[in-house]
Chains A and B, each alone.
With several copies, the nearest count.
Chain A
Amino acid sequence: MSEGELMMIVAAAREIADGETVFVGMRRPMLAFALAQRLHAPSAVGLYENGIVRQRPTTPVARTMGDPRMTAGATWVGGMATVMGLLAQGHVDLGLLGAGQVDRFGNLNSSYIGDYARPERRLPGSGGSSDITSLAKRCVVLLPHQPQRLVEAVDYLTAPGHGSGSGWRDGVGLPATSAGTTVVVTDLAVLRADAEGELWLTALHAGATVEAVQAATGWPLKISDALRQSAAPTEEECAALAALRQG
């Protein structure tokens, strides 16, 4: 795991407050959530789209949410309808998810690169992401910082962020209780949405510069007055992450 990748997981984990209900996506989000559970958020509740609710971390972390260790000792196991229904009722504090592309207004594309009718590249698709950004109170998106991934406007809008900006979510009918993409965590930086839904650079990981981040970002990035350096991963975070990834 590269330092940037490690920092991405750690920074995402830090977004989770203790006791929160978190809808946890595949792969990186599973790792970030498990890390938070092991450290500062022991009573966070994880909801998984396959129909698992889990409060106890697995060690090592499961490779997929369908692995038997995810079921054993879970706090609830059943169907997708129940966990999605809890999400739709507004019971999820935080969605933690990946994406193929994210744009200036936090919209996500996980479906098509290029024109969807004749795509250059097909990505796996929404999974739960369209539901999570529609319905969770707030969302943290994890993805590598590359100019083809952080783009001015997504090629295809899989999961609604703030569309074209202020007022858009309300206009298209999304619930007022959901704020869409609120934070983007990459291997270089942390970006946060302002009241209009535009993503601002708010923190730089070790080794990253504003220039490098701007060069890897497909729109003219607004820089927060409070721009700060991300706290380096602590020994505790590194050790916990290593334990989670073993085996």
Chain B
Amino acid sequence: MRTDNKQMTLDAAISRYVKDGSSVAIGMALEASIPFAAGHEIIRQKRHDLTLIGPISDMLFDQMIGAGCVKSVMAAWVGHVGQGGGHAFQRAVEAAVPRAIEMRDHSNFTLTLALTAGSLGVPFIPTQSTLGSELSSTNVDLIERINPLNELGEPLQLVRALHPDVAIIHVQRAAVDGAAHLWGPLGLAKEAALAARDVILTAEEIVPADSLYTDPNRIFIPPFRVSAVVEVAGGAHPAPVAGYYERDHSFAEDYAKSTRDVAGMEAWLRLWVFGMPSHADYREEVGEERWGALRTAASVGAAPIYEGGHA
């Protein structure tokens, strides 16, 4: 068994797999394990005309939209999960600042079905959910049709399969060959990664592959489907990561306060994104004391499993 070494820097991974115009699934585990560091690197590389895909993104979509990277959004919810609305997102939709964005409004379930269809290699999945809503008026991927299996002519919402150009997933630990363990809430992480053309994993830690293969049921997706593995300790901050750190609520609140106008948004990006040549600088800027306060409380470990017999 030969294993490819897919480890690279964040800079290299983004530059190689995220192109202008790419569709990017990011923040698929909802409030947890959001790849903020990867999102910031996309902003630093000034990618534009991106399509963002994600059910509920906390502030990351707001930041990327505020930075002008985004042309289109396929999402169920965009904003700031602590506060509600996201200022940059509102400015973009209401006033085309810094640019107009096109919305494809999904519900959580329709986005689930779109990515599930993608991961299963099927063209669409039908559902009764969202019938009667206006979501399809902003989303050409929701198509109402008569149920072809039903003589009564009942309508169904057909949800077209989605295949992101790239899915960026933040995991607890990964190996250089693409094996990874992700736990805590998964949201649509697996479906998005399986449906995507390329998968970038950012990881709290890089570990030997054999340590992950002691528990192949927890391997995130088959490693041959992973394009890049990047070590980024703290790479989800201010989002939480189970077993590593809590959500940095006050950082998130500061973001909301700071970005009420365009000047504030630009200042925030200058400070936290453009002012940080790499995530190591960002980590340092957050500071040891803050990281210490965010560390999750000690907990009992998971009940062990053995593939063979117990030793």
Tell whether, in the assembled complex, residue B1 and residue A72 are in contact, meaning their CB atoms are under 8 Å apart.
Answer: no
Alpha-carbon gap, A48 to B3, bound state (A): 19
Complex interface bits, B129-142 against A, C-beta within 8 A gives 1, otherwise 0: 11111110110000
Tell whether, in the assembled complex, residue A130 and residue B133 are in contact, meaning their CB atoms are under 8 Å apart.
Answer: yes
Cross-interface CB contact of A122 among B56, B94, B307, cutoff 8 Å: B94
Tell whether, in the assembled complex, residue A116 and residue B29 are in contact, meaning their CB atoms are under 8 Å apart.
Answer: no
Tell whether, in the assembled complex, residue B1 and residue A55 are in contact, meaning their CB atoms are under 8 Å apart.
Answer: yes
Tell whether, in the assembled complex, residue A90 and residue B121 are in contact, meaning their CB atoms are under 8 Å apart.
Answer: yes
Tell whether, in the assembled complex, residue B128 and residue A134 are in contact, meaning their CB atoms are under 8 Å apart.
Answer: yes
Interface size class of B (residues with CB under 8 A): 35 or more
Cross-interface CB contact of B107 among A27, A53, A130, cutoff 8 Å: A130
Alpha-carbon gap, A119 to B247, bound state (A): 32
Q: Which residues of B contact A126 (CB under 8 A)?
A: 76-77, 105-108, 130, 133, 135
Chain B residue with Cβ nearest A65: B31
Cross-interface CB contact of A52 among B82, B85, B185, B190, cutoff 8 Å: B185
Tell whether, in the assembled complex, residue B127 and residue A88 are in contact, meaning their CB atoms are under 8 Å apart.
Answer: yes
Cross-interface CB contact of A67 among B31, B119, B219, B223, cutoff 8 Å: B31
Contact A173-B156, Cβ < 8 Å, known A125-B105, A130-B135 = yes
Binds A, one of B35-43, B237-245, B263-271, B284-292: B237-245
Alpha-carbon gap, A131 to B55, bound state (A): 13
Verify if B186 is at the interface (C-beta below 8 Å from A).
yes
Chain B residue with Cβ nearest A89: B121
Question: Quick one: which of A37, A86, A127 has the most chain B CB within 10 A?
Answer: A127
Verify if A172 is at the interface (C-beta below 8 Å from B).
yes
Verify if B179 is at the interface (C-beta below 8 Å from A).
yes
Chain A nearest CB from B121 CB (Å) reads 3
Tell whether, in the assembled complex, residue A49 and residue B216 are in contact, meaning their CB atoms are under 8 Å apart.
Answer: no
Alpha-carbon gap, A85 to B296, bound state (A): 31
Contact A116-B76, Cβ < 8 Å, known A84-B108, A86-B222 = no
- Within 138-166 of B, Cβ neighbours of A (below 8 Å) are at 138, 154-156
* Residues in B lying within 8 Å of A, measured CB to CB: 1-3, 29-33, 55-56, 58, 75-79, 81-82, 84-86, 89-90, 93-94, 105-110, 112, 116, 118-122, 127-135, 137-138, 154-156, 179, 183-191, 194-195, 213, 216-217, 219, 221-225, 239-243, 246-247, 249, 296, 299, 307-308
13 example contacts (A-B, Cβ-Cβ < 8 A) are as follows: A49-B55, A49-B56, A50-B186, A52-B185, A66-B33, A71-B307, A75-B179, A122-B85, A124-B77, A124-B79, A126-B76, A134-B132, A159-B133
